[in-house]
Amino acid sequence: MAKPPKFADVSSEYWKLFLECRVNSDKLAEVQRIATSITLNRPRYQAVTTGLGSLPWWFVALIHSLEGGLSFTTHLHNGDPLTGRTKHVPAGRPVANPAANAQQAPSATNPYTWEESATDALRQKGLNSWTDWSIVGSLYKLEAYNGWGYRMYHSKVLSPYLWSFTNHYTKGKYASDGKWSATLVSSQAGAAAILRVLVDTRVVVATDYRGDFPTPPAGVAYA
């Protein structure tokens, strides 16, 4: 049975893909709009990362875009509404009731805050203990957040969770958990497409990438 990849085995692949990544011209305006919205909400993302190790604010924002369309009324886990525990994978999160009224189950009148749900999602994935927030380290954790199904079972299709709206993706998508379609095309911007714009506009300063160089010079390590 196929197994999730080890970071060391795929890091060079992420590096090459990101260097060659270009946002499709017909999708660039949409990705730029997403990047602008993310930047405007930076303080909220930064607040969530408090107490979560070295987790960067923009990583939370990328997940927020993919899982909830940047809506602050949905769980960061999977985009389900904050008025109840998650129904889709991972289901039943958060386990605790909303902090505002811990004696009652979540409901329309007792919803979770986006912040408490986001903190639960990030901790559940162990992102508070991950320390490599380089471009390649972040792409690895972004793909892991969505799941390794593409890489493990449909290796000819790069995960749209990362590469949709870029030159690295054309078609092929899970319509829902475990339901694959070879012809379905993702309609949302991939995390790498958004990160490409954030890096190119210097909103995100990556430790392993300098946009001045199209490829890493021989013998030079970016740090």
Q: What pLDDT digit, counting tens, does each position of 139-196 carry?
A: 999 999 999 999 999 999 999 999 999 999 999 999 877 789 999 999 999 999 999 9
21 near 197, Cβ under 8 Å?
no
Please give the Cα distance from 189 to 165 (Å, whole number). Answer: 5
Tokens at residue 165, please?
A: 């709206």
Domain ranges of the chain: 7-71+131-200
Phi, psi of 32 (to 5 degrees): -65, -40
Mean pLDDT of the chain: 92
Judged against a pLDDT cut of 70, whether residue 11 lies above it is answered with yes
pLDDT average, residue stretch 40-58: 97
pLDDT average, residue stretch 90-108: 97
203 near 211, Cβ under 8 Å?
no
Judged against a pLDDT cut of 80, whether residue 57 lies above it is answered with yes
Q: State pTM to two decimals.
A: 0.92
Phi, psi of 146 (to 5 degrees): -80, -30
CA distances for 146 relative to 38, 63, 159, 160, angstroms = 20, 9, 9, 10
Contacts of 191 (CB under 8 A, 6+ apart): 62, 63, 65, 66, 139, 142, 161, 162
Please give the Cα distance from 135 to 199 (Å, whole number). Answer: 10
Higher pLDDT, residue 218 or 171: 171
CA distances for 8 relative to 12, 105, 148, angstroms = 8, 43, 16
